[in-house]
Amino acid sequence: MFYFSRVAFNIADLVEHAVDLVPDRVAVICGDRQVTFAQLEARTNRLAHHLARHGVGVGDHIGVYARNSVEALEAMIAAYKLRAVAVNVNYRYVQNELRYVFDNADLVALVHERRYSAKVADVLPSTPRCRHVIVIDDDTDTPYDGVSYDDALADGSPDRDFEPRSNDDRYILYTGGTTGDPKGVVWRHEDIWRVLGGGINFVTGEPVAHEWQLAEEGAAGGILVRFPVPPLIHGAAQWAAFQSLFSGGTVVFVPHFDPHDVWRVVAQHRVNVMLIVGDAMARPMIEALATGTYDASSVVAIASSAALFSPSVKEQYLDALPNTVITDSIGSSETGFTGMGFVQRGAEYTGGPRVKADPETIVIDDHGQPLTEPSIGRLARGGHIPLGYHKDPAKTAALFTEIDGHRYTVPGDYARLEPDGTITLLGRGNTCVNTGGEKVFPEEVESALKSHPDVFDALVIGVPDDLLGQRVAALVEPRPGHTVDFADLDAHVRRSIAGYKVPRSVWLVDAIGRTPTGKPDYRWAQRHAADHPAAAVTAIH
């Protein structure tokens, strides 16, 4: 094998290594579309050259505003081939939110699905930096000067003749904005690859030695079919897809989440590894599996990350898929992967996902010192960490701390260091409910609520209380066809959590508000609670 003198741990380079070793393998499948690695290479080269002809260059930001598709993944890769930056744009945003992201992210180009043309037309006049637009599936006229995706490909060369790239090229991931405005987390390519893309083995903690290693191992082994179920606006889905490409595997997508479609795709393409985002996907999926006649025998592993995966739902997966390895991982846009736990039947529940931490992950106390005894503190990660937030020096400064001469990122997640050295993630400090001086982390209460047979989904917030400062409140989505008995729900929850954590106010809702990535929408919950009377209010006792 010929190795270049440079060592570029760069997204585009890592994809190209797999192209060179397994050009005829199927790289991407979505719906009835599929492309080989060779076709992916030619198409992304064409798109990159088209963008370059329209002035897009090193460091420029390209918005990708689309559901899961072959084109969405190609647009990201094309950006990195130019040493530009792909920016994930949440496809559920309304105009004001889009305007904020277009402006805050300094977009100079946009690739979007035709279905979003009306919103784009409304936003473009106020974001003049965005000077070039490419439209996916463009079978109607757009009310602005846009180029169809197919025409853009036809306009560009299929050749790989780009300038050398760098480990230091930038990657930006915009957060979900569940509790505030979205923030763009800026990473070096090597750092984000190390913590999310397989550059460090998630199980062993061993770093990848050279830039060809993943591609060589994939070429020598069998083809692994990975299925990131969440949308590509989610960092975990992006990196599951990239890691599949780096290792010469096949990545499968669905344009939008439907639990029955998920299992049909699993059976059709003999999926081996699935990525989901907690209960928001896991619960409807396991219920669809129970009611359908789907063949899931090819699935060897299911990984959940970035959202609550409650014990009651985990048990259902263990029952339905006894030969499948199920894991629960923790991490964030600001840390990448920080730990993983293997789901086991009857495991003790300690208030959240309990994981073996990454070697660079610690829990620190209020004085910024590492915990040495079991206690609650804030999660911190050293080693490969981001550079900060795009255009926000104040929040960037607050994100980092120095411990014993080493820099750590501290995004605000609270965790408990357990006696055996494992870590239990409790939740974000900005969603923690302070009730009478006691801290209550929503995910623990949500897990207790969702273990009730009449509850399909739940979201926990704090609401003002004259006596306690805040009282614990819950928005509850009943299971279809079921009626929630509040006294029974209260008694059920008290069997698994302390009395001060039990919701005092409960709202019944048709559906819990969540982001497209499956994360709880706490701003929606606060608005709903403020605008509607509670269905049940429990006295303090």
* Distances from the Cα of 520 to the Cα of 201, 223, 332, 477, angstroms: 29, 35, 14, 13
pLDDT at 142: 65
301 phi, psi to nearest 5 deg: -150, 140
Which domains are present in the chain?
A: 11-25+35-202 (3.40.50.12780), 257-429 (3.40.50.12780), 432-537 (3.30.300.30)
**Which residues of the chain fall short of a pLDDT of 50?**
1-5, 541
Q: What is the distance between the alpha carbons of residues 105 and 183, in angstroms, rounded to a whole number? A: 9
Strand-pair partners of 87? 63
Output DSSP code: residue 430: G
Rg over alpha carbons for the chain, rounded to the nearest Å, is 23
pLDDT at 289: 97
Strand-pair partners of 330? 339
Q: What is the distance between the alpha carbons of residues 507 and 386, in angstroms, rounded to a whole number? A: 39
Torsion angle (degrees, nearest 10) of CA 37, 21, 240, 210: -150
* Distances from the Cα of 233 to the Cα of 68, 210, 478, 513, angstroms: 9, 29, 28, 17
Asked whether 284 and 262 are in contact (CB, 8 A), the reply is: no
Q: What is the DSSP string of 384-429?
A: S---EETT-HHHHHHHEEEETTEEEE--SEEEEE-TTS-EEEEEEG
pLDDT at 4: 43
Q: Give me the residue label for tokens 């960037």.
A: 396
pLDDT at 307: 84
Question: Tell me: the pLDDT tens digits for 404-433?
Answer: 999 999 999 999 999 999 999 998 888 999
pLDDT at 176: 73
Asked whether 332 and 356 are in contact (CB, 8 A), the reply is: no
Torsion angle (degrees, nearest 10) of CA 384, 389, 395, 400: 10
Q: What is the distance between the alpha carbons of residues 61 and 64, in angstroms, rounded to a whole number? A: 10
Report residue 459 as tokens. 């979201």
Asked whether 460 and 449 are in contact (CB, 8 A), the reply is: yes
Q: What is the distance between the alpha carbons of residues 282 and 286, in angstroms, rounded to a whole number? A: 6
Query: Does the pTM of the predicted model rise above 0.75?
Result: yes
pLDDT at 178: 56
186 phi, psi to nearest 5 deg: -100, 130
pLDDT at 314: 96
pLDDT at 6: 52
Instruction: Could you list the beta-strand ranges (E) of 189-234.
Output: 225-228
pLDDT at 446: 95
